[in-house]
Structure 1
Amino acid sequence: MAVCEKAGWQSASRPLECPFVYPVVKPAKNVLDAIGNTPLIQLNRYLDTPNVKLFAKLESGNPGGSAKDRPAHEMIRQAIDRGEIDANTTIIESSSGNMGIGLAQVCRYYGMRFICVVDPRAQSQNIAIMKALGAEIDQVDQPLEGDFLSARLARVCYLLETTANSYWPNQYSNPANPSSHCNGTIREIDQALDGELDYLFVATSSTGAAQGCRNYLRSMNRSTKVVAVDSEGSVLFGGTAGPRQIPGLGAGRVPPLARNQTFDHVARVRDLDCVVGCRRMADREALLVGGSAGGVLETVRRMQHQLEHKTCVAILHDSGTRYLETIFNDDWVANELDCGPDALRQLAGITNATEKKAVMS
């Protein structure tokens, strides 16, 4: 028994001690009511300098696992309130993954049929999640004029014309997309930090999150600089189209929401930068984050010396658990991005156990 007690086991006659007191959270009315109020945590080890106060907004804490839960719910809720859709409506949308999951969850809750148009870059796990929630998957296999998004949108239009009582939420132009982040994501960040925020870093695709956050900050007269993180190969912000491997970051054509949008700074990242950020985050902070999050974090690291003595927040859109077969798979990284495990470890600054102990002490 003494050995067991040394190992932390106690006899049944002795009361167990609880060293942590967790805050009481009121129960949600339903799964959709649980969207939002995601964790905001300080990252103390990711950067090379201790003089930057960096926080991460973990949108993987939403019940559907990503930031897209917010606009998915808001777009459908507003359409219901306007009387445009009901339980007999078929919802049709184009998605690289996370929006599809968010809409699959919302549609399943409201009892609506949902068809998600995807392309070959969609993560197999995301497709499996959508199917588990009752979604029907319609995959386009060939790009249109070199762009898969254009092919997906053409397919959406065809399905709308051939499916009775159908509705397209259209995340690419629906104002409910940015407003969900204006009223939710950034408001939560701003209130948690009492308005003391110098820089906000956010990935862009439809630009809904970046737009909504910027609009809120302007309405509150904050001096916060918003850094929009885009991928190389994206046409957003005057970029040049090119191959991209990381879903949910960048765009092959400029969506209506993104037209004429400006931010304080636009930073572009390579696919490999996203992988490096994800691997470094797992190593330094014990957190698995998704592809766009890795790109956002590496943008912060690239700018770290000009951010000294500033308070920064990086919005991390989803979890790395959806990228285990790609970003966290050494063979995939070597084959698709031409970067072997040793080179990847060096780029991410991953140390061995002895070195890590010295760094963390």
Structure 2
Amino acid sequence: MLLSQPSMNQLSSRVCNGVLDAIGGTPLVRLNRFLDRPDIELIVKWEAANPGGSAKDRPAAKMLSEALKRGEIGPETTIVESTSGNMGIGLAQVCRYHGLKFICVVDPRAQKQNLSIIEALGGTIELVTQPLKGDFLAARIAKVCELIETTPNSYWPNQYANTDNPRSHFKGTIREIDETLNGEFDVLFVATSSTGTAQGCRDFLKSRGRDVQVVAVDSVGSVLFGGSSGPRKIPGLGAGKEPRLAAGQSFDHLVRVSDLECVVGCRRAAQREAMLIGGSAGGVLMSVGRMQEQFAGKRCVAVLHDSGTRYLETVFSDEWVSESLGCTSEELNYLVGSSSFEFFEGVSA
């Protein structure tokens, strides 16, 4: 089979002025094989194409650029932030570019490769090993507060409360989707943690008067949207403590996905679409499958936050899945190959 080669204009439409200028403009990709039905058009926003590898590049750059403009930070400032990994990479990249020191507070669920990337970009890792009242996010934030108090000239961007977080997606992620599709789509699926992406997207669509339903994808064991706290193995999805940004937020639909469901979504995307996607992205795609009857005949867009290349030792490791989620290789292969989306624990609202 011969494939046509892209033109030079398709390969590169502009020269970026530094790596931070390359953030955004990520591609939309139509997935023809993930679902077993032709009556739903599924298009994904491939955020792994950002230079730092995830959607978190956008708020990382926005939060620090605005703080620089306001004079809240300068050349001698130390940036301190809590993250499950991707925000840490985004901030490490921005800090290295601007010559700022960066301390990244993480917990044991962070992917080892992410931590190595942060360190390669000059960041310092502060690992919290014990949860606070059963919650690692609370422990990370407590450590951030301690570091802010003890580190001279330090600054906490606070992705969990900073309105520049959703604003970055309002001005970037959803605007790009809307303009590329000329506003012609029916449903948007977005993973939630700080809820910055989902908020920015929802508010933009409302401002444009778009008749688009927004589906918030949360994890089983997350306290967001009134959920009950429980164990979670997939980083970057859900929260053990409600962030300030998330308080009082609501969306058209809510779907909660289990860790195993996220794994199956990732494996299915690799098998059927030749795409390596991250844990939360697997959950987002499985949510589309869960609601496929409801959205038959619709054009659905799903935001995929990061790449599966950073989950090779977890999501894509049969040994990890067996030890952490209690699912054997045989059971996992059956779930990945099945055309059904009804095998999983979860809640739709």
Structure 2 length normalisation: TM-score? 0.95
Q: Secondary structure at the match of 1:200?
A: strand
Question: What is the distance in 2 between the residues matched to 1:232 and 1:252?
Answer: 11
| Change in CA separation of 1:164 and 1:345 when aligned onto 2, cut-off 3 Å | same
Give the match for residue 239 of structure 1: 227
Q: Secondary structure at the match of 1:306?
A: coil
1:216 is displaced (CA, Å) by 0.1
Give the match for residue 217 of structure 1: 205
Kindly provide the amino acid, as one letter, of the partner of residue 191 in structure 1. Answer: E
1:103 is displaced (CA, Å) by 0.1
Q: Does 1:278 align with 2:244?
A: no
Give the match for residue 172 of structure 2: 184
Give the match for residue 183 of structure 2: 195
1:140 is displaced (CA, Å) by 0.8
Give the match for residue 73 of structure 2: 85
Give the match for residue 315 of structure 2: 327
Q: Does 1:263 align with 2:232?
A: no
1:297 is displaced (CA, Å) by 0.3
Counting only pairs closer than 5 Å after superposition, residues 1-361 of structure 1 correspond to structure 2 as 19-22=5-8, 23=10, 24-349=12-337
Kindly provide the amino acid, as one letter, of the partner of residue 208 in structure 1. Answer: G
Kindly provide the amino acid, as one letter, of the partner of residue 207 in structure 2. Answer: S
Equivalences, count: 336
Kindly provide the amino acid, as one letter, of the partner of residue 336 in structure 2. Answer: A
Question: What is the distance in 2 between the residues matched to 1:329 and 1:339?
Answer: 11
Larger displacement relative to structure 2 (20-29 or 64-73):
20-29
Kindly provide the amino acid, as one letter, of the partner of residue 235 in structure 1. Answer: V
What does the per-residue CA deviation read over 1:61-109, in whole Å, with 9 as the maximum and x for residues that have no partner? Answer: 0000000000000000000000110111000000000000000000000
- Contact 1:283–1:350 at 8 Å: present in 2 too? no
What does the per-residue CA deviation read over 1:301-333, in whole Å, with 9 as the maximum and x for residues that have no partner? Answer: 111121111011000000000000000000000
1:21 is displaced (CA, Å) by 2.4
| Change in CA separation of 1:19 and 1:143 when aligned onto 2, cut-off 3 Å | closer
Give the match for residue 347 of structure 2: none
Q: Secondary structure at the match of 1:115?
A: strand
In the TM superposition, structure 1's runs of 4+ consecutive aligned residues that sit over 4 Å from their partners are none
Question: What is the distance in 2 between the residues matched to 1:239 and 1:115?
Answer: 31
- Contact 1:52–1:311 at 8 Å: present in 2 too? yes
1:18 is displaced (CA, Å) by 7.5
1:19 is displaced (CA, Å) by 4.1
Kindly provide the amino acid, as one letter, of the partner of residue 201 in structure 1. Answer: F
Question: What is the distance in 2 between the residues matched to 1:338 and 1:283?
Answer: 22
Question: What is the distance in 1 between the residues matched to 2:285 and 2:244?
Answer: 27
- Contact 1:280–1:350 at 8 Å: present in 2 too? no
Kindly provide the amino acid, as one letter, of the partner of residue 62 in structure 2. Answer: E
Question: What is the distance in 2 between the residues matched to 1:324 and 1:300?
Answer: 24
Question: What is the distance in 2 between the residues matched to 1:349 and 1:237?
Answer: 32
Q: Secondary structure at the match of 1:312?
A: strand
Question: What is the distance in 2 between the residues matched to 1:350 and 1:65?
Answer: 30
Give the match for residue 357 of structure 1: none
Kindly provide the amino acid, as one letter, of the partner of residue 55 in structure 2. Answer: A
1:197 is displaced (CA, Å) by 1.1
Q: Secondary structure at the match of 1:314?
A: strand
Q: Secondary structure at the match of 1:138?
A: strand
1:20 is displaced (CA, Å) by 3.7
Give me the CA root mean square deviation: 1.3
Q: Secondary structure at the match of 1:304?
A: coil
Kindly provide the amino acid, as one letter, of the partner of residue 162 in structure 1. Answer: T
Give the match for residue 345 of structure 2: none
Question: What is the distance in 1 between the residues matched to 2:121 and 2:267?
Answer: 30
Question: What is the distance in 1 between the residues matched to 2:294 and 2:126?
Answer: 46
1:340 is displaced (CA, Å) by 1.1
Report which of the two structures shows the higher radius of gyration computed on alpha carbons: 1
